[in-house]
Structure 1
Amino acid sequence: MRRLLHLLLIPALLAVAVPAQAAPAFSVMTPADTVASRTDRRPLAGGVHDPAAGVTFISWSGVNADTYVQAYDHPSGAWTAPKLIAGGEADPHNYPTMVLADDGHLLIFRGMHNSRTVLSRAPAPHSLDGEWTHTELPEGDAASYPMPVKTARGTLVVFYRETTRELDPSAPTDFRPMKYLISRDNGRTWKNSVQSTGQEFAFGSKGRADHMDEVYVGQMRYEPGSFGRPERVHIVYTLAGGGPDQHVHDYYHRNIYYAWFNPASLRFHAADGRDLGTRIDDADQERYLKVAETPLERPAGLKSPDYIQQVGFGPDGKPFVLWFQFDGNGIPLDHVARWTGTAWERKQVASGLRTREIEPAGNGSWRVYATRDGLPDIESYLLTGLDWRAETVIRTPKPVQRVEVITGFRDPARILATGASSAREVSVADGDIYVAGKPN
């Protein structure tokens, strides 16, 4: 009788079942066309929403890697014209990264490849207008790849990679560790990690037998503190260097590593919470931080893993990382690793995709934005644990080279997508600038 009642109830239960959620539709705006040059920017701090002004600000690299900014006014739905902020010295590494300081001023950081850190500051709060000031920060010397984070308290932390040979000619060309700058007064004064902790560098390695002593951080992600968890900057990175037989810059890539940084205490931690102090060295990263071991090889002449990886965390705070490496034919193979609490659980989830950026999608899932080489459009996928499924396609007229979720985004300005240029030389700038999101 109980079984019969259960069978009779099934049709009724199905009738009231919640239908499968439809894939979101994304609208695409083109704030500027045929203006973007090739850029090496990481998926971090490309734009920011200013709730006080009701405006979204974006930054991008134009011809000769010059820095441009634009603003989207949400009430009117209008974009400003591109505004030139500073020259890029014709180097695709000299890309801008943008934060909104707590005093309302926009700050743009550029690590002028291997040489210096330059801070550009907007003259008026909540606005791009007027003549910006440009300040070289001697604390950030020999810098590349600025990765700024603003904490809930307004502290600014800018990680950068130091090319030590520019300061010490005796250093091997493939010794390039990570350091950081820190400001607690909205970017007016700074200290670097050496001044703050006395450590030679913040994280990296020195003197490895395989010479893999360069750090390539793929992404950083700030997580505000919550009950039972301190604030954290999640970090995922790979190593580079010449390999065991030579000192050569960026010849090989190897392995995936994860750590988190507490900006209040200036201490690093492993996924299991182990306190590693104010510096991570090679012994730490090999024993506690390694997510995946990858071969020391160059499939189809490519560096593998790629320069860019993604990092996120679950509702329980456990981190995950996403990266791609190449097979023997140069096809990207997409991998996810999830920290279980005791170990990293790994899975290949796709192939042929260059994963560009991720964002929380609710219910413990993350949205992954990805592209395919030479093709237009951005594909989105939903990642829940190690489960991976296709979600939707964001239509772009031309191929895209970079995707960044805008800090504190407000739709329809959710992601900034930099169109691919037709040439590697930054003297050619014919990629489009796209901003996409869910339509209002």
Structure 2
Amino acid sequence: MYPPLRRLVSALIPVTVSALALTAAPALAEATGQGFSVMTPASSVASRSDRRPNAGGLYDAVAQATFISWSGKAADTYVQAYDHRKKTWTAPKLIAAGESDSHNYPTMIQAADGHLLIFRGMHNTRTVISRSPKAHSLDGTWTETEVPEGDAASYPMPVKTVDGTLFLFYRETTNQLDPKAATDFRPMKYIVSKDNGKTWKNSVQLTGNPWAFGSNGRADHMDEIYVGQLRYQPESGRIQFSYTLAGGGPTQHKHDVYHRNVYYASFSTKNLHFYSAAGRDLGTQIDDPEQEQYLKVLETPLELPGALKSPDYILQVGSQADGKPFVTWFQFDAAGSPKDFVGAWNGKTWDVRQVASGLRLREIEPLGLGVWRVYATRDNQPNIETFRLVNGRTWTPESVITTPKPVQRVEVIAGFRDPARILATGASTARDVSVADGDIYVAGAPSPWWAGR
């Protein structure tokens, strides 16, 4: 609506009705997925990254700013900020070295004291936390701390609960600590902080168990956990997990040779217990018999990564309108093309169905009442396609978010404020992290023209 027409309407319609109409207008973009705007905070700077769809960015209501993190050349960690008042981006700020390993990606949350924390699991070696010197700001020289409680860590996944407690889940490479352990024994553990990340205790100290979830001694040696995504549910205090297995296979102990199966579990941040989709209390540690009996969404053959029916490393997890979980993932056909699946818990079993082909499912966004937006890409093609998924069953094409170059990762920004809804890391043209030529994109529903007036 143009300003002169808006003034005329305001004069003719009571203020309350006019305000209601103006408030409701942005919901059109929310409901249809149309009209996404795309910003490019940084160009030709992103290297290849193994980051999961978790904790890439957040909105800070106090600063009225969106903060993002990403991996640049040599997997170094960079951050940027978008000022929603000025509608401007800061220049990329180098925070820490990535040691030229694509696994050493940053994840970022904001502690209850307002300070930003960046976590890196330095691939099989250590957990490192960078902390901003100022609350609600990227400015100044960040401090860096190694956390011995999170030793031999990879793939950090941080969560802040409603009371400010910090959980960081990670996968441990156990033979870095115990040379007698098999190289394909890699369970999940976590560390917890009650003081905004200053001190930590790990799951062994808190529960007495050698790991949080995983297995050791399977006949097929599939004792490596690959968590595709975790999702915190503030209303219940639960964290949902979707994951798959890897290992050397039945004849050898080698890292990440074969993949198989899809699993779901949830974790209570209140009592540190794990639960199945059916609600079975599994206690403070999940072992292989429990995993196989209560947590399996789908049994797949023992396959090489990228082979027929091999689940990818990245999976997504969400909830239906009644609270029952669902999991999304993709696996490959004989020609190496992705096939896209959803498994929805019906109260007794998992309803698994193929919903699409040719898509790499990157992230899902809750829209309410069991409705989710799925963000997906196609290999070597620009743009992000979005789909509407209802209760893990009904799949509908929605829109296309136009990007100049292909995208490798998509993450919904925590507590987002449009137009900064998702962070999309552009794909580098090389697997070598010394090449950093991917763009950094941030997309969302554009702000209405009256915003800020």
For residue 410 of structure 2, what is the aligned residue in structure 1?
403
Indicate if the aligned counterparts of 2:318 and 2:325 stay in contact, CA closer than 8 A.
Answer: yes
Deviation string 1:95-138 (CA, Å, 9 cap, x unpaired) is: 00000001000000000000000000000000000000000000
Q: Deviations over 1:390-428 (max 9, x none)?
A: 000000000000000001100000000000001000000
Kept after mapping to 1: 8 A contact 2:306/2:312: no
1-structure distance, mates of 2:378, 2:443: 18
Match of 1:54 in 2: 64
Residues 251 and 303 of structure 1 are in contact (CA less than 8 Å); yes or no, is this contact kept in structure 2?
no
Indicate the residue corresponding to 2:203 in structure 1.
193
Q: Distance in 2 between matches of 1:38 and 1:301?
A: 22
Counterpart position of 2:291: 285
Structure 1 Cα separation of the partners of residues 98 and 258 of structure 2:
27
Residue equivalent to 2:445:
438
State the secondary structure of the residue aligned to 2:259.
strand
SS of the counterpart of 2:190?
Answer: strand
1:262 to 258, 264, 268: 268
The question of whether the paired residues in 2 share the 8 Å contact of 1:271 and 1:289 is answered with yes
1:428 and 2:451 matched = no
- Check conservation: 2:257, 2:305, Cα contact below 8 A: no
For residues 303 and 431 of structure 1, do their structure 2 counterparts lie closer, same or farther at Cα, with a shift above 3 Å needed? farther
Structure 1 portions without partners, runs of 5+:
1-18
TM-score by length of 2: 0.91
Unpaired stretches in structure 2, ≥5 consecutive residues: 1-27, 448-453
1:157 corresponds in structure 2 to 167
* Distance verdict in 2 for CA 1:74–1:215, change over 3 Å: same
Residues 354-412 of structure 1: per-residue CA shift (max 9 Å, x gap) = 00000112342100000000000000000012110100000000000000000110000
- Is the CA contact 2:309–2:333 (under 8 Å) kept in the aligned structure 1? no
| Equivalent AA in structure 2 for residue 220 of structure 1 | L
SS of structure 2 residue aligned to 1:196: helix
The residue aligned with 2:187 is: 177
Q: Is the 8 Å Cα contact of residues 60 and 136 (structure 2) preserved in structure 1?
A: yes
The aligned amino acid for 2:46 is: A
Are the equivalent residues in 2 in contact too, given 1:299–1:327 (CA < 8 A)? no
Give 1:311's aligned residue: 317
Correspondence for 1:11? none
CA distance in 2, matches of 1:198, 1:364: 37
| Distance in 1 between residues matched to 2:343 and 2:320, nearest whole Å | 12
- 1:234 partner SS: strand
Contact 2:166 2:193 in 1 (8 A): yes
One-letter identity of the residue aligned with 1:333? K
Residue from 238, 243, 250 that aligns with 1:232? 238
Distance in 1 (CA, whole Å) between partners of 2:214 and 2:193 is: 22
Structure-2 separation of matches of 1:23 and 1:286: 38
* Secondary structure of 1:333's aligned partner: strand
CA distance in 2, matches of 1:79, 1:300: 38
Match of 1:142 among 121, 146, 152: 152
Confirm or deny: 8 A CA contact 1:45 1:98 kept in the other structure: yes
Match for residue 346 of structure 1? 352
Residue of structure 1 aligned with 2:389, choices 341, 364, 383: 383
Q: Could you report, residue by residue, the CA deviation over 1:13-61 in whole angstroms, capped at 9, with x for unpaired residues?
A: xxxxxx9964421000000000000000000000010011100000000
Of 249, 253, 257, 2:259 maps to: 253
- Quote the sequence identity (%): 70
Match of 1:34 among 40, 44, 51: 44
**Residue 335 (str. 1) matches residue 323 (str. 2):** no
Q: Give the residue type in structure 1 aligned to 2:99.
A: E
Q: Are 1:164 and 1:171, in contact at CA under 8 Å, matched by a contact in 2?
A: yes
Q: Report SS of the residue matched to 1:210.
A: coil
1:227-281 deviation digits (Å, cap 9, x = unpaired): xxx3110000000001111111000111000000001111100001110000000
Return closer, same or farther for 1:333/1:150 CA change in 2, 3 Å cut-off: same
Match of 1:84 in 2: 94
**RMSD (Å), alpha carbons:** 1.4
Task: Report the CA distance shift for 1:167/1:367 in structure 2 as closer, same or farther (over 3 A).
Answer: same
**1:275 aligns with one of 278, 281, 292:** 281
8 Å CA contact 2:38–2:444 kept in 1: the answer is: yes
Q: How many residues align?
A: 418
Q: Which string of whole-angstrom CA distances, capped at 9 and with x for unpartnered residues, describes residues 46-91 of structure 1?
A: 0010011100000000000000000000011000000000000000
Superposition pairs of residues 113-152 of structure 1, within 5 angstroms: 113-152=123-162
For residues 171-226 of structure 1, what are the alpha-carbon distances to aligned partners after superposition, in whole Å with 9 as ceiling and x for unaligned?
Answer: 1110000000101111011000001100000000000000000000000000012x
Q: TM-score, normalised by structure 1?
A: 0.93
> Which of 399, 415, 421 in structure 2 is aligned with 1:414?
421
User: CA–CA distance in 1 between the matches of 2:374 and 2:69?
Assistant: 22
Question: 1:100 aligned to 2:85?
Answer: no
SS of match in other structure, 1:426: coil
Could you tell me which of 393, 397, 407 is aligned with 2:400? 393
Mapped partners of 2:216, 2:275: distance in 1: 20
